[in-house]
Structure 1
Amino acid sequence: MMHPPCTDRKRPETEGIPAVVPPLPLNEPERLETLRRYALLDTPPEAAYDRMTRLAARLLGTPVSLISLLDDTRQWFKSRHGLDTPWTGRDLSFCAYTILQDDVMVVSDALRDERFADNALVTGEPGIRFYAGVPLRTADHLALGSLCVIDHVPRHGFGDEEKSVLRDLADMVMHEIEARHAADVANREIEERRRAETALAAALEEKETLLREIHHRVKNNLQSLWGLLQIEKSKMADGHARERMDAVSQRINVMGSIHRQLYASPNLARIDLAAHLDELCRSLMDLHDRPDRVRILIEADPLDCTLDTAIPLGLIANEVISNSLKHAFPGERRGTVRVTLRRLPDVDRRAGPGELLLADDGVGMPRTAGVEDPEGIGMILIHALAKQIEAGVSVEHGRGLAVRIRFAE
C-alpha cells in the first residue's frame, strides 16, 4: 500500500535545522483532527505505554524508545524511555518522515542520510545515529505518530526479525490507544446521558408539579362551581328544574372526582378507571339514597386510561347509572345495577382497549324516560361522549336495560 501523497516544503539554511523541512501528507488536516479527537496530547504518563517503550528497548537492544505523537508544530512523546525531553520541534522530527511510510522506516546512520545529517538531534544531544520507527495508524489509515527505537551508534543489522518485533509492538500500542479512546468515548457518552437524564428528570419534575397544580386548581374550580349550582338549586321551586340542576351538578362532580384522583396519584398521565367507577357508584348511591332496595355491583379488571378517555367514560357511566337508579326500580321494587369493566380478551396489558357494561335488572325504561329514547337527552349525550373517544355504543334489552361501551386508547 502506498503512503498518502505529500508535498515538500523548502526553507533557508539554518544552523542545526535541516535544509529540507519534513513534507506534509495531503490528508494532514484530517490527520490532525483525528489526533486531537483521540485526546492523547499533553496527557500524563501512563503505565501501559511506558511498558511498551521499555519492552521495545529491551527486545531490540537500544538505549532509547519513544511513542511519538505528531501535531502541527512538534512531536510530543506520550512515552519516552532513555530520553529526558518531553517533546521536540516538528522540523527536527524523524517521525515526520515515518508517518509517510507504510512500513518500518530504518535510518542505519543518520550522519550519512541527507535528510538528517544536519539535524540538531543528530549533531547535538541526544546524538541520534540509528533510528527505526513504524507509523501508529488508525483503522482508517491516519497516522497519529510512531513507535521508534534509537541508538547513539550506527546499526546496519536491523533485519526482518527486528522489524517484525517493532510492528507487533506498534500494533499493541495502537490497541491500547484504541481501547483508551473507546473508553473515553463511552465515558463521555455516559456523562452526557447522565446530564441529559438529570435535565430530563428536572424537566419532568417541573412538569409534574405544574400538572399537579393544574389538576388541583381544576378540582377546586369544579368544586366551587358545584357549590354555586347548589346555591342556585336551593332558590328553585320547580321540581323538574331542581332535578335537572342535580344532574348537571353530578356531571361536574364526575369530572372533579377524576381530577381529585389524578392530583393524589403518583402517575399524572393515567387514571385507574376501576377506582374511578367505584367512587362514582358510591357517590350516586349517596345521591339517590336507595341502599335498602338497590345495590350496585362492580366487577372491574385493572385498566388504566388517559384523562381524555376517563372523563367521557365517567360521564357515560354517570348518565346510565343515574337513569337506572331513578327509573328502573319504581315503588318498592328491589334490584341490582351491574358495572362491569374488562379488558378485551386479546389484550394482555393493563392499559388498552376495553369494554364497559352498565346493566340493571329493573323494569326497563319507557322510550321517553332517558337513555333508551334515541331522541332523549340521555342517549344524545352518551353518543356524543362516545364519539369523542371513538367508542362503540350498543343498547341491549332483556330483563332490564344494558348499555355496552367498547373503547380503545
Structure 2
Amino acid sequence: MKPERHPREDDRLRELRRYGILDTDKEREFDELVEIASDICEAPVSVINFIDEGRQWFKAEVGLGVRSTPLDTSLCGHAILQGDYIEIPDTLDDKRMADNPLCTGDPGFRFYAGSVLKGANGLPLGTLCVLDHRPRALSDHQRKVLRVLSRHIMRELDLRIALDREQTLRREVDHRVKNSLASIGALLSMKARRETDSAARLALEDASNRIRSLSSLHAELHELDGQASVSLQSLFMRIEIDLRQLLPEGIQLTISVGDDRVGPQLANSLVLIVNEFVANSVKHAFGSGHGSIKVEIEAKGDRWSLVCCDDGSAGAKEAERAATGSGLGTRVIHSIASSMDIAPQWRADGYGMELKLDSSTANSVG
C-alpha cells in the first residue's frame, strides 16, 4: 500500500526544506548514530531518512547501500503518519505493508521500528529506524535508545539552523557597520575641508583617517572569523596595502613577517596593535612630514613576538607617556596586551619610538 499524504503535506515539505538536509553529503556524525542504533537494537539495517516529495532520502544508513528509494514502497512514509514511535513486529501482518515488495521479497523486511523525526513546528520529517529480516520485537531499553537518538538528530539539525541564522545576522551587521564607518569617514572628511580653524581641521582629518583605517581593518578581521588558523604573511600583506593608502605622502611603511600560521584571536590582536602604532606614529612622530615605520612579526609554535618602530623624534618623555597609556592609541595597545597577560615595552631615545611585545614575557603584567 502506498503511503498516504500527510494532512499538512505542503507545510511539512516546507519545514523539511527549511532544514536544508536533503541531498547533502554523508557525515560521520550521522553515520555513527545509525551504527549505534544498529548495534544496540541488533538489527542488520538502520537508517536516518527524510520523506521528500516522491521519495524517501537517506542521510545515513547501515546495511542498505542506497541513498534513496521511491515513496511508493516506503515503510517510513507510513510511520510518520502514526505518532512519535511505531513498531511493527511482523510487516506481513500489517495491511499497509503486507503487499510491499520490500517486505514480500527474499529476504524481505519482516520487522520495522522507527522513532519519528519532527521539525520545530511539530511536523514529521522522517525517522530513525531499524529493520530486520525476521519478525521480532525490541526491548524497552532498545526503544528508549531509538527515541533518544532521534531527539539527538533533531537537536543537531536545529543547532545548524541556529548557527546559519546567526551567521546571516552577523553578515548583515558587518555590512551595516561597514556602510556606517564609510559614511562617518566621508562626513568627517567633508567637515575637515570646510573647517577654517587649523587645529579643528587637523583633529577632523585625524578622526577621518582613523575611521577609514577601522573600516579597512573591519573588513580584514571579518575574514578571520571561523578560520582554524591564519597565515600571518597573507594577512599582513593585505593590511600593509590598506595602511599605506592612509599614510601621508613621505611616510614609508614596511611590515616583515614570516609565513607562519596562528589562531584568529592572536592574528586579530596583532592587527589591532599594529594599526594603533602606525596611527600614533603618523600623528605624533614626524614633524617634518617624512619618515618610516617598520613592523617585524615572528611566530613559531606557541611563541611569538612583535616589534614596531619609527624613526621620528620621540624621546624618553614620549616613551614614558606611552608606557602609562595616556593616549587613546596606547590605551588600546595596553588593553590588548593585558588581555594576553603581556606588558608592552616602550623605548625612545630622541630618534624614534619602539614597541616590543613578546609572548615569553606573559604573566608579567602588573
With the length of structure 1 as denominator, give the TM-score of the two structures.
0.46
Q: CA deviation at 1:69?
A: 0.9
Match of 1:208 among 185, 203, 206: 185
- Evaluate the alpha carbon distance shift between residue 207 and residue 165 of structure 1 in structure 2; reply closer, same or farther with a 3 A threshold: closer
Q: CA deviation at 1:257?
A: 4.6
Q: Percent identity?
A: 38
Residue 79 of structure 1 aligns to a residue whose secondary structure is strand
- Evaluate the alpha carbon distance shift between residue 176 and residue 204 of structure 1 in structure 2; reply closer, same or farther with a 3 A threshold: closer
Contact 2:114–2:128 (8 Å) recurs in 1:
yes
Q: CA RMSD in A?
A: 3.0
Residue 23 of structure 1 aligns to a residue whose secondary structure is coil
Contact 1:62–1:149 (8 Å) recurs in 2:
yes
Partner of 1:168: 148
- Count matched residues: 212
Partner of 1:87: 68
Partner of 1:112: 93
Matched, 1:265 2:206: yes
> How far apart are the structure 1 equivalents of 2:141 and 2:37?
13
- Evaluate the alpha carbon distance shift between residue 181 and residue 204 of structure 1 in structure 2; reply closer, same or farther with a 3 A threshold: closer
Partner of 1:6: none
Give per-residue Cα distances to partners, 1:332-362, cap 9 Å, x unaligned.
Answer: xxxxxxxxxxxxxxxxxxxxxxxxxxxxxxx
Residue 5 of structure 2 aligns to a residue whose secondary structure is strand
Matched, 1:153 2:120: no
The letter for the 1-side match of 2:100 is N
Residue 136 of structure 1 aligns to a residue whose secondary structure is strand
Residue 24 of structure 1 aligns to a residue whose secondary structure is coil
Match of 2:79 among 93, 98, 109: 98
Matched, 1:187 2:128: no
Which ranges of structure 2 fall in alignment gaps of 5 or more residues?
A: 210-366
> How far apart are the structure 2 equivalents of 1:93 and 1:259?
76
- Evaluate the alpha carbon distance shift between residue 127 and residue 187 of structure 1 in structure 2; reply closer, same or farther with a 3 A threshold: farther
Q: CA deviation at 1:125?
A: 7.2
Partner of 2:49: 68
- Evaluate the alpha carbon distance shift between residue 168 and residue 267 of structure 1 in structure 2; reply closer, same or farther with a 3 A threshold: same
Partner of 2:113: 132
Partner of 1:22: 3
Q: CA deviation at 1:263?
A: 4.8
Q: CA deviation at 1:128?
A: 1.4
Give per-residue Cα distances to partners, 1:101-127, cap 9 Å, x unaligned.
Answer: 223212222223221122232234772
Give per-residue Cα distances to partners, 1:142-182, cap 9 Å, x unaligned.
Answer: 21210100011222x33434322322222222222223332
The letter for the 2-side match of 1:180 is R
Partner of 2:30: 49
Give per-residue Cα distances to partners, 1:229-259, cap 9 Å, x unaligned.
Answer: xxxxxxxxxxxxxxxxxxxxxxxxxx55576
Q: CA deviation at 1:189?
A: 2.9
The letter for the 1-side match of 2:173 is R
The letter for the 2-side match of 1:123 is T
Contact 1:95–1:133 (8 Å) recurs in 2:
yes
- Evaluate the alpha carbon distance shift between residue 212 and residue 44 of structure 1 in structure 2; reply closer, same or farther with a 3 A threshold: same
Give per-residue Cα distances to partners, 1:362-382, cap 9 Å, x unaligned.
Answer: xxxxxxxxxxxxxxxxxxxxx
Which ranges of structure 1 fall in alignment gaps of 5 or more residues?
A: 1-17, 220-254, 269-409
Residue 193 of structure 1 aligns to a residue whose secondary structure is helix
